[in-house]
Amino acid sequence: MTEPDGERAGGTAVDEGTTVPSGVTRSPEDFVANGIPGVWMRGGTSKGGYFLARDLPADPAARDDLLLRIMGTPDPRQIDGLGGATSLTSKVAVVSRSARAGVDVDYLFLQLGVDAPTVSDRQNCGNILAGVGQFAVESGLVGAEENSESCSVRIYMVNSGAIATATFPMRDGRPVYDGNTRVDGVPGTAAPVVLTFEDTAGSATAGLYPTGHVRDTVDGIEVTCVDNGMPVVVAEASSLGLSGYESHADLASDAGLLERVDHLRRKAAQLMGMGDVAESSVPKTVLLAPARDGGGVCTRSFIPVQPHTAIGVFAAISAVTAMMTPGAVGSDLAADWPEGAQRVDVEHPGGHLLVDIDIDAATTPLPRVRSAGVVRTARKLFAGTVFPRA
């Protein structure tokens, strides 16, 4: 059965009791009593719930309410739900078979709050994306040849309108999760998932550089506002009085710094045409410093105000895109990179992340992204029936 195009969160709600093809009509009491099928997966350095769109309420408001109750939000510990008490473990993928030509599945990413009852669809998540292809195969949305050693799934990212291709190993017609690929921030090794992206520029804004400039000044701080898969405010750590090598704990305990980061991103968002982002998880902020562990750059990122224990895939891609652009913040740090370098080792508090970016910096008036990619891993943690709180 082919699922229709997914509806974005915050779209037009349907009347209660109306059945629409993109979802199911069930009462809240029925969900509480009988649960909902779902899979919990780690994708990259995040983890969350993966659900078929047809199993969720068609009304976005009812869907979001159900997911908040599944996750245990609002509660700092999410003790009465599946959430892991951090934004990295309070995520959801909603997946359906795509009606778009040349695309296998549609993927809607939802970022759920932890201590606040918020659900945002204003950004992609490249980490959760790493498990979408395998989930699609295991759920029967995508067929796989019994003897095939790999599978490539083309994924329409509903949040941004971009397309990604996930390629991962197969064995006996099923995804393989064990392997020798290591992702910093994740214990052990797993099978590689190669993600390549198309049309990522301007994922949630007017373009790659939504302010129309490669460099702006906000609160006296030089920033680059870039959107190559995710809106990001890029600044040098030194401009905020930091070395850029602070630990996660040191950053998290600096209330003054977090307030400045929030103020910076809010004002930058206005320049990016995003309006009031006080309750939004984007734009993110990435601070840059010279590499000190053999990489191309050292980063500290905020999601959107609390410091990240690592760095998000699209945050890293956007930040490195800025560094590859002449005149943008961080371009001086990239001066020592090999000429024409496309693969960049991004240092973060949890280790390293390799990103592949090919941009045409010669186009005018602003650069053009040819392609972007990254290697992640994913693992299925459990599959079964999830019971939301009443």
pLDDT score for 361: 78
- Which tokens in the block code for residue 50? 């993966």
pLDDT score for 12: 27
Architecture of domain 28-200+377-386: Roll (3.10)
Residues 6+ apart with CB under 8 A from 87: 111, 113, 114, 281, 303, 306
Helices assigned H by DSSP within the chain: 28-34, 60-71, 126-129, 132-138, 248-252, 255-271, 313-323
d(CA 275, CA 258): 20
- Any idea where the domains of the chain sit in the sequence? 28-200+377-386, 216-366
Superfamily in which the 216-366 domain is placed by CATH: Diaminopimelate Epimerase; Chain A, domain 1 (3.10.310.10)
Place of tokens 């047809």: 54
- Which tokens in the block code for residue 293? 């562990």
CATH topology of 28-200+377-386 equal to that of 216-366? yes
d(CA 271, CA 20): 38
Report whether 127 contacts 86 (CB < 8 A). no
- pLDDT tens for each residue of 188-227: 999 999 999 988 999 999 999 999 999 999 999 999 999 9
Q: What is each CA distance from 351 to 10, 41, 83, 186, 355, in whole angstroms?
A: 36, 21, 24, 10, 13
pLDDT score for 387: 98
Closest CA to 211 of 224, 222, 199: 224
Q: What is each CA distance from 45 to 29, 168, 268, in whole angstroms?
A: 34, 17, 27
Segments of the chain with pLDDT less than 50: 1-21
